[in-house]
A and B are shown apart, each in its own frame.
Chain A
Amino acid sequence: MARIVILGAGVSGHTAALHLRRLLGRKHDITVVTPNSKWNWIPSNIWVGVGRMTAKQVTFDLPPIYRRKGIRYVQALGRTIRPHGDGDDPTPTVEVESTAPDSLGELSRLPYDYLINATGPKLRFEATEGLGPEGGHSVSVCTDGHAVHAAEALAESIAKMQAGEQQKLVVGMGHGTCTCEGAAFEYTFNVEHELTQAGVRDKAELIYLTNEVELGDFGVDGMVFRQKGYQQSSRMWTESLFTERGVHSILGAHVSKVDPGVIHYETLDGQHHTQDFDFAMLLPPFGGVGLTAYDRDGSDITDTMFAPSGFMKVDADYTPKPYEEWRAEDWPKTYEVPGYPNVFAVGIAFAPPHQISKPHVSANGTPIAPAPPRTGMPSGVMGKAVAITIADRVKGDPQAPAEQASMAKMGAACVASSGTGLLKGSAASMTMFPVVPNYEKYPDSGGRNFSGTRGEIGLHGHWIKLMLHYLFIYKAKALPGWQFIPE
């Protein structure tokens, strides 16, 4: 009997757990360690954040799903990995700290034959003074709870506008190294849509504040499309939408501090600015969750297994090199941790070899560069690939070659909502192939294949996003036929 421990139950961890149970049957032990008892379909949090969905509509309880599937559920945080065991016992273990109310803070060790690190991000609000809803002065939509709070703050702001007050609303990135620009873009236009629906659009100045150097970058170096015989770019597309909807923007910005009603930020030219606000939704930068690793003799091997950012090193090329020398081949394929073939890291938990967008530094030396997104569709594909690798090794040859799922060789669909409503909603639906551009293979089309890279905005995009909401929650609940819904 093999023991497989999965740290994290987000898109990649939960996908890996369900596929492992499907591929291995019930004679092997699968354990999921996650601090939260609820699963959250995060892409729909933006609708919770404007009051169009409830937290209940984007979450469900995990324990009943795992009970039904025969997966052991441990409500805890992963703390320390001992890949070679401890002292006299060579059994690999991971130490976890309980977050369950009845055993809060208790430490225990889980032995494993295979370990998947799918811990997702630590929301690093502390990276910017005054950022975030807990002790800070801005709101967030990163969790369902944050999104509910954001919706309340937005409703207050709209009520003031309805009473005749002018309001300034700022949506965007709370640090120069944030990722998930797409989520901030979506929230911006959902807020704009709500203001219009409430009849107060003329009372609001809405500003999108981002670390992107140009609109439409989305942390993936933008996209080039072929439409109606012309090459078009996501930049042109996005600038058009901002102009059409009257949304203002601040580009290439690093937020250094948030005071009550005032955002302090630096731009690429090194200038420092302030932006006053009545409502601000600013996303935090992500970091690793702070796992540590120890060798059997007690020596600290955290630096061997993890990058300084706290994300886990996998089979990527981490050699530091200038932007001009970055290659698609630098990106990991199997997500195996070097030297530890039974340990994998997927989704946000793996350390990317470098950004996808060209990095910039301000005149003062402050890095201002979107971190590469590793969420959504690619996350699920990685989780499934690692599940197949482990299942192959458990059932047959322990040295079986790993299933590959490089972000430089996979496509992704991205649907960015720009307002909700079955007949009044809209969204930009985009596909890109591959996610990480390959400028050697596709030199004239922005590093991507034109036939797989498309985009269009309209009501149909909203329907697609709504369909994906219901499909993926159905899949995550492991209801009949879940496995036929692709990642």
Chain B
Amino acid sequence: MSEIAKQSPVITHYPDAPVPTRFTRWNRQNPVLQFGKFVMACINIMMMVIKGHEK
């Protein structure tokens, strides 16, 4: 078996990927802040639906 074949293709982590801070993780689950984002995301989706199709 070659050296390449012995290497596992399973990637266990991505060293260059940014990992969220504790504050970001808290932000993501904070119901009050997330309610604001929910409203904004709904508006964003609705705007896309209303604009619809690029003629």
* CB atoms of B37 and A458 under 8 A apart: yes
Q: Is A236's beta carbon under 8 Å from chain B?
A: yes
Complexed CA–CA distance, A244 and B25 (Å): 10
* CB atoms of B34 and A460 under 8 A apart: yes
A40-48, A278-286, A341-349, A423-431 - the one binding chain B:
A423-431
Q: Is A75's beta carbon under 8 Å from chain B?
A: no
A10-18, A246-254, A309-317 - the one binding chain B:
A246-254
CB contact under 8 A between A429 and B41, given known A240-B20, A409-B54: yes
CB contact under 8 A between A248 and B44, given known A242-B17, A409-B54, A423-B29: no
Chain A interface mostly helix, strand, loop or mixed?
Answer: mixed
**Mask: chain A, 397-413; 1 = CB below 8 Å from B; 0 = not:** 00000001110011101
With both beta carbons as reference points, the residue of chain B lying nearest to A449 in the complex is identified as: B54
A23-31, A66-74, A99-107, A267-275 - the one binding chain B:
A267-275
CB contact under 8 A between A452 and B37, given known A236-B17, A426-B28, A426-B29: no
Residues from chain A with a CB closer than 8 A to the CB of B5 are 271-272
* Count of chain A residues near B, Cβ 8 A: 48
**Mask: chain A, 246-268; 1 = CB below 8 Å from B; 0 = not:** 10111101000000000000010
User: What's the count of A-B pairs with C-beta under 8 Å?
Assistant: 100
With both beta carbons as reference points, the residue of chain B lying nearest to A434 in the complex is identified as: B54
Complexed CA–CA distance, A467 and B38 (Å): 11
Q: Is A338's beta carbon under 8 Å from chain B?
A: no
Complexed CA–CA distance, A248 and B27 (Å): 25
With both beta carbons as reference points, the residue of chain B lying nearest to A408 in the complex is identified as: B54
25 contacts between A and B (CB under 8 A): A236-B18, A239-B16, A239-B17, A240-B14, A240-B17, A242-B17, A249-B10, A251-B11, A271-B9, A273-B9, A275-B10, A423-B31, A424-B29, A426-B28, A431-B45, A456-B37, A456-B41, A459-B28, A459-B31, A460-B34, A460-B35, A460-B37, A464-B41, A464-B45, A486-B49
